A and B are shown apart, each in its own frame.
Chain A
Amino acid sequence: MTPALAHYLDVASRFHAADASAPAWLRRVRSEGLAHLERQGLPTNRDEAWKYTRLAPLAEGMFLPPGEARAAGRSAAGAEGTFIPAGAGRSATGAEGTFIPAEAGRGAGRLATPAEGTFIPVGDARGTGALSAVVERLGLPGPRLVFVDGRLAPELSSVAGLPRGLTLKPLRDALREDGDLLESVLGQRALAGDSALTALNAALLEDGALLRLAPGTVSEVPVQLLFLTRGDSPVLASPRILVLAGESSEATLVETYAGVGAGATFTNAVTEVTLEDNASLHHYKLQAESDTAVHVSGLHVRQGRDSRFASHAFSFGGALSRNEVHSAFAGEGGDATLNGLYVGRGTQHLDNRTALDHAVPRCTSRELYKGVLDDQSRGTFHGLIRVRQDAQRTDSRQQNRNLLLSESAQADARPQLEILADDVKCAHGAAVGRLDAVALFYLRSRGIPRAEAERLLTYAFAREVVDAVPAGPVRDSVEGLLALKLPGAARREVRA
């Protein structure tokens, strides 16, 4: 057993023991997660699914769940804490997660100037603690839950204006209040037996969100879940998000992850989505963690008949980022769109894995993942399309394109098709290259300086994925984050 695995098993056991008052079913979910983690061990390069990504930072970081991390972070950083710690393990004081918002210093909330070659955290909330300014900056109009270092921050959250039929609840409340429901749905889409990281998330399950849509509910405003890590403690945040979309319901969910300060953190998020017949979900994931963060997420979806699911995953931050999207068609006529953009600088490692399971006939899927890689960054894409034996009339297309901006950047692509039905249309394509010399020449021949021309072309390349986001606050938010990542592009930004 590696020291890292021993550490996480140890941490999870302590967590388990500390929360002895949890309902029996939740204790079972956690202990099963622990058992699966122990059985599988943390993934290594020898696992085919992790061939290009090394989880070494996890071994070095020895991250701690929110409760312990707060204690550790406080003792290390002295009086810096802007939190009132909830104590190791959720003690029965009733003060769990009490959060005192820091002074909302307007000036401190401004974005930092990009340091050369590294990604900049969205703000620096240490010391002055400008969390609410960060929330203002990254928050979207509409209902939202804000989590800081893995736990709900009620003062920054707002669930006002929820449409009828839509329930948005912090998971910690739901675990207490909706035990029967959660017991039947939690862990149904994301199986702890399939992935050590899902198992780790289950073992440390304590917070997250539950989004429920009654049949026929149509929500126009996006629901946002904002996860901030401050970096002043080696926190391991394990949010779990459950989405239950009833028949013919429609909603938009935005998960935003951002680092607010420098310092190593580890986010291991799991999202489980169940779309009933004819339901529709637009899912956005905006990941702008600090450049010292480890970010791993798994989005697991089950699509009912004629349901529509669109995932847009933007990976900008993290020393190591792994973005997984798994969608399975359970009813005919479903439609899935999986889009992704990963932009790497410095020594960032951005990993994307998607898996589409066409288990039933007549479903359609479209997939576009693009990577822009500069400096010594490395981007990897592994996309699997599985068409099962009875899934006739499947129509599936997948594209992965990578742009290498520096001599030392790297890209790995693994588009993969597994097809067991004959009456299907399936295609995939993958490409790696640099900026088109002819296009550059064209721009330069019209008097645009080289650097400017390169920026324009790079931005245009990335823009294709942004353009797939309907105009509105979500796209604005994506553009704002992209502009941080591709300096210069912001000035040419065209607002729709």
Chain B
Amino acid sequence: MSTDTLQELTRRPYEAGFVTEVESDTFPPGLSEDVIRQLSEKKGEPAFMLEWRLKAFRHWLTMKEPNWQAVKYNAIDYQAIRYYSAPKQKPKKGSLDEVDPEILRTYEKLGIPLHEQKLMQNVAVDAVFDSVSVATTFKDKLRKAGVIFCSFSEAVREHPELVKKYLGSVVPYSDNFFAVLNSAVFSDGSFVYVPKGVRCPMELSTYFRINAAETGQFERTLIVADEGATVSYLEGCTAPQRDTNQLHAAVVELVALDGANIKYSTVQNWYPGDAEGRGGIYNFVTKRGIAHRGSKISWTQVETGSAITWKYPSVILKGDDSVGEFYSVALTNNLQQADTGTKMVHIGKNTRSTIVSKGISAGRGQNTYRGLVKVLKSAENARNYTQCDSLLLGDKCGAHTVPYIEVKNASAQVEHEASTSKIGEDQLFYCRQRGISQEDAVSMIVNGFCRQVFKELPMEFAVEAQKLLGVSLEGSVG
């Protein structure tokens, strides 16, 4: 394929890169205990939340930023970030009509209309704009099923007992540098509680949008599936195109009690920066689930955006017979860097985990799979299967695989396989001779490469993911 088409197509603009003009209520840059107190007050939080934040902040001050990941970036100045930014509006709405029309238009432009009648059927959306949740749809329908789906701020006010019980139970306030920072300053996010034996009647979804400049987005999601409950949750993310880097440090905690089933899908399309690597989101995310007896947690992610991706959605297989899954497609183009993977910690007996990771590197992108499979002594008959495939499109990019396997129980069966390849000339030739254009052929082959992961996504997202991959990749094969 000619280099020209390649360049032409990689120059394709980031479609979600516009800025919304809304008046916002923003903190000045800087981080201190006062900022945290202000933040907590602004959100009308109970005292326990403030204490928790301060405890985390004090711990954070003693920590060092990690440097083991295979990504390079300019030092982050934590004092130059604004830790709170919210569109100015009347206090939280009862109905969508009261949401700033400018914001509603933003979500419409992004293809996420918040008017329920226009919504994708059967998906409830919580829209997070900078630091706050601006709207949550289908609340009534969910309430009838007993499902709580609301913004995190609302959960802290309305369901403090649940928040108190589960917040930090999977990712403690002292976990890692970025998670600790998040614990101190997180502004909003989604909260889901599915009661015993309930199958959530619709897909739940959060759409994150960073709009304001110089802000960091620190959201926190907590999903609790009580015994025998089932829930499927999706998240999507975009940000405007800016020359500066913005920090996104989120925490997601999943709790699957006995027999519960949580499916968590992500399509991450933060602004990746331009072709020269200017701008883009620094995405440092901690995601972890704890699986109790007979439960299942499944992570599916399609990571196409962000200048830097640093995330390792993990499952602690605590209960006997619990199941953990991780399906991932990570794409890096231009100067994007991704260091992503998973941790599967087998504690219970007969626990099973599956890891399927597909990394695609194009341009000068660097893609690292970093994963840990740990079988503790107690995990009789644990089983893991890991497959990591990398596809290299171009001779300036890189693909790295760094798996860790630690087995302390002889009955465990752990397998890891990895391969690296490029699109074969013969594959392309085969398609071309059947009248398929070069570009379509590449797209077909890449989609085939990712099929195992895409088929795990809920239908609406699978379509979006395929489109995204098409946009980010077209022509980048030379």
A429 CA to B420 CA, complexed, in Å: 12
Chain A positions within 8 Å of B407 at CB level: 402, 404, 410-412, 432
Please choose the segment from B86-94, B250-258, B396-404 that sits at the chain A interface, where 4 or more of its residues have CB less than 8 A away.
Answer: B396-404
Of A406, A409, A414, A423, the residue contacting B405 (CB under 8 A) is: A414
Give the size of the chain B interface in residues (CB under 8 angstroms): 35
User: Does A17 interact with chain B (Cβ within 8 Å)?
Assistant: no
Of A408, A415, A423, A432, the residue contacting B401 (CB under 8 A) is: A415
User: Does B422 interact with chain A (Cβ within 8 Å)?
Assistant: yes
- CB–CB A389/B395 < 8 A: yes
Given the known interface contacts A389-B396, A419-B390, A429-B416, the answer about A404 and B68 at a Cβ–Cβ threshold of 8 Å is: no
- Mask: chain B, 366-404; 1 = CB below 8 Å from A; 0 = not: 000000000101000000000000101111111111111
CB of A234, distance to nearest CB on chain B (Å) = 32
- CB–CB B418/A415 < 8 A: yes
Residues of A51-66 contacting chain B, CB below 8 A: 52
User: Does A407 interact with chain B (Cβ within 8 Å)?
Assistant: yes
- CB–CB A416/B401 < 8 A: yes
- CB–CB A392/B410 < 8 A: no
Which residue of chain A is the closest to B393 with respect to CB atoms? Answer: A422
- CB–CB B392/A422 < 8 A: yes
A425 CA to B399 CA, complexed, in Å: 12
Which residue of chain A is the closest to B477 with respect to CB atoms? Answer: A422
- CB–CB A414/B420 < 8 A: no
Chain B positions within 8 Å of A392 at CB level: 395
- CB–CB B404/A414 < 8 A: yes
User: Does A430 interact with chain B (Cβ within 8 Å)?
Assistant: yes
- CB–CB B395/A423 < 8 A: yes
User: Does B102 interact with chain A (Cβ within 8 Å)?
Assistant: no
Give the size of the chain A interface in residues (CB under 8 angstroms): 36
User: Does A279 interact with chain B (Cβ within 8 Å)?
Assistant: no
Chain A positions within 8 Å of B419 at CB level: 426-427
Given the known interface contacts A423-B422, A425-B421, A429-B418, the answer about A415 and B403 at a Cβ–Cβ threshold of 8 Å is: yes
- CB–CB B418/A422 < 8 A: no
CB of A173, distance to nearest CB on chain B (Å) = 45
Given the known interface contacts A431-B415, A434-B411, the answer about A419 and B420 at a Cβ–Cβ threshold of 8 Å is: yes
- CB–CB B395/A433 < 8 A: no
Which residue of chain A is the closest to B421 with respect to CB atoms? Answer: A425
Chain A positions within 8 Å of B392 at CB level: 419, 421-422, 424
Chain A positions within 8 Å of B20 at CB level: none
A411 CA to B390 CA, complexed, in Å: 26
Of A405, A406, A433, the residue contacting B413 (CB under 8 A) is: A433
Given the known interface contacts A392-B395, A415-B401, the answer about A427 and B411 at a Cβ–Cβ threshold of 8 Å is: no
Of A404, A412, A431, the residue contacting B404 (CB under 8 A) is: A412
Residues of A154-211 contacting chain B, CB below 8 A: none
Can you name 25 A-B residue pairings with CB atoms under 8 Å?
A48-B68, A402-B407, A404-B407, A404-B412, A412-B404, A412-B407, A414-B402, A414-B403, A415-B416, A415-B418, A417-B420, A419-B392, A419-B398, A422-B422, A423-B395, A426-B420, A427-B418, A427-B419, A429-B415, A430-B414, A431-B414, A431-B416, A432-B407, A433-B412, A433-B413
- Return the 7 tightest CB-CB contacts between A and B, nearest first: A404-B410, A422-B392, A413-B405, A417-B401, A426-B420, A432-B407, A420-B398
Knowing that A419-B399, A429-B418 touch, tell me 8 more A-B residue pairs with CB under 8 angstroms.
Answer: A52-B406, A404-B407, A409-B410, A411-B407, A424-B392, A424-B422, A427-B419, A431-B416
